Amino acid sequence: MSLTTQLSAPKRLRYTYKTEPYAYQRRALAKIAKLEGRAGLWMEMGTGKTKVAIDWVGISYINFNVNKAIVVCPISVLRVWEQQIALHSPFQNFIKILEGSTDEKVATLKKFKHEIDLWEPEGVAWVLVNYESIWRPLLEEELGNWDADIIICDESHRIKSASARQSRSAARLGREARMRLALTGTPITKSPLDAFDLVIW
């Protein structure tokens, strides 16, 4: 079913949902739009944060020329993201999961970047990478060279410690992207200060 979603007045943003969102997911998208794609999705487990993020990337692709995305997440959900993108995204996607050693991940990303730049395909190119990898200097540099339009940090409570290497790497990558989303169902585990780094990210 083709839908035109009123996300923020007065501009009407075009988008065709592949899977129909719940009302609260529409409200989340409206808030992301108001924040120009720089937002936190602090939604409970099982409420569809991933779908909201995927729909936002799609909305941004159609309306704002966003076509490169990085998803940073725990290694255990890399394949889940691949499946969810296929389930919810209504257009063509090119997905590369970075696996293996740091050198292998760098080589994979360089090859993927070359292929995307060469073909200039219609659709979104996604790079999926785990948190424990992004602080490696060679890979962080190559991720920066990917020149992503949007970076999504899933289970973003993993970057709440400003002194942690993966937190600093995520912050550097986030500053280079036009849009960034932080997804977590547990933004605060000990005290309100837990949310501080997620807010400033």
Tell me, yes or no, whether 82 lies in a domain.
yes
Residue 101, C-beta contacts closer than 8 angstroms, at least 6 positions apart:
none
Instruction: Quote the tokens at residue 163.
Output: 């002194």
Tell me, yes or no, whether 22 lies in a domain.
no
pLDDT for residue 198 is more than 80: no
Model pLDDT, residue 147: 93
Tell me, yes or no, whether 128 lies in a domain.
yes
What's the pLDDT tens digit per position in 13-44?
Answer: 899 999 999 999 999 999 999 999 999 999 98
**DSSP strand pairing (124-130 vs 68-73):** parallel
* Domain count within the chain: 1
pLDDT for residue 195 is more than 80: no
The pLDDT of 124-130, averaged and rounded, is 98
Q: Using 50, 70 and 90 to split pLDDT, how confident is the model at 6?
A: very low
Whole-angstrom Cα distance, residue 146 to residue 161? 25
Model pLDDT, residue 197: 53
Tell me, yes or no, whether 9 lies in a domain.
no
Give percent of the chain with pLDDT exceeding 90: 71
Tell me, yes or no, whether 14 lies in a domain.
no
The b/e string for 32-57 (b: 16+ C-beta within 10 A; e otherwise) is bbeeebebbbbbeeeebbbbbbbbbb
* Average pLDDT, rounded, for the chain: 88
Which residue segment(s) compose the domain that 130 sits in? 38-200
Tell me, yes or no, whether 17 lies in a domain.
no
Model pLDDT, residue 7: 47
What's the pLDDT tens digit per position in 51-70?
Answer: 999 999 999 999 999 999 99
pLDDT for residue 8 is more than 80: no
Tell me, yes or no, whether 169 lies in a domain.
yes
Model pLDDT, residue 136: 96
Model pLDDT, residue 93: 96
Whole-angstrom Cα distance, residue 13 to residue 6? 6
- 50: domain CATH number is 3.40.50.10810
pTM for the full model?
0.88
Tell me, yes or no, whether 185 lies in a domain.
yes
The pLDDT of 100-110, averaged and rounded, is 98
